[in-house]
Chain A
Amino acid sequence: ETGVTQSPTHLIKTRGQQVTLRCSSQSGHNTVSWYQQALGQGPQFIFQYYREEENGRGNFPPRFSGLQFPNYSSELNVNALELDDSALYLCASSQDQISYEQYFGPGTRLTVT
């Protein structure tokens, strides 16, 4: 069974730039959620995708957007990067849209300078 994978591991961007982060869900899982974890904080929910449709969204501005593909992999796009966007971005997959138990990838560390 393949776990959740994310790429890249680390990324450095400049304020105002755009970034795309990628996630492959665990085999057999069709739901993907994205979280932002700032230093010293718990993960904060960004949005969730189920079968290529957004299934819920947290309190993040529209410049945070996502996609889910037919193979259930997913992308997180952030436009007009700000310094406060520097964080660990975590992707989690679950078996379906009613399953609370989510399985996380190792994360992408984004630094905005």
Chain B
Amino acid sequence: DQQVKQNSPSLSVQEGRISILNCDYTNSMFDYFLWYKKYPAEGPTFLISISSIKDKNEDGRFTVFLNKSAKHLSLHIVPSQPGDSAVYFCAASDNQAGTALIFGKGTTLSVSS
């Protein structure tokens, strides 16, 4: 059973517009959430994170929102740029196996100019 779900395999957005990537989770014990970006032939790159005690974290063009009651988080990218085109992974941890991260399957974002 998948504990972290990214239900949209792909998303297409025009340059300058907002990209919203969504993630749902089932484990209420998760206490930390992260977003990673992955380009082909590279490892995932850490983007932004949020603790379960917060509902929003912002870093430049990237903002992550957490809705604990809905077990839902989202990543907003504003404005989107062609260089943002990549696979985005949502990850979570419950600190049960060290700081093991549980990943979703990813969403491929394409930003067109």
Contacts from B to A (Cβ < 8 Å): 4, 32, 34, 36, 41-46, 49, 89, 91, 93, 95-106
Supposing A40-B105, A42-B105 touch, asked if A48 and B100 sit within 8 A by C-beta, the answer is yes
| Cβ–Cβ contact B93 & A100, under 8 A | yes
| Cβ–Cβ contact A44 & B98, under 8 A | no
| Cβ–Cβ contact A104 & B100, under 8 A | no
Supposing A42-B103, A45-B101 touch, asked if A101 and B46 sit within 8 A by C-beta, the answer is yes
Contacts from A to B (Cβ < 8 Å): 4, 31, 33, 35, 40-45, 48, 50, 55-58, 90, 92, 94, 97-107
- What is the distance, in angstroms, from A27's C-beta to the closest C-beta of chain B? 16
Contact of B46 among A55, A58, A102 (CB under 8 A): A102
The docked-state distance in angstroms from the alpha carbon of A103 to that of B102 is: 15
- What is the distance, in angstroms, from B59's C-beta to the closest C-beta of chain A? 12
Contact of B44 among A41, A55, A97, A104 (CB under 8 A): A104
- What is the distance, in angstroms, from A65's C-beta to the closest C-beta of chain B? 16
| Cβ–Cβ contact B97 & A43, under 8 A | no
| Cβ–Cβ contact B44 & A48, under 8 A | no
| Cβ–Cβ contact B100 & A98, under 8 A | no
| Cβ–Cβ contact B49 & A101, under 8 A | yes
- A-B pairs with the 7 shortest C-beta distances? A56-B98, A42-B103, A56-B97, A104-B43, A48-B98, A55-B98, A45-B100
| Cβ–Cβ contact A48 & B97, under 8 A | yes
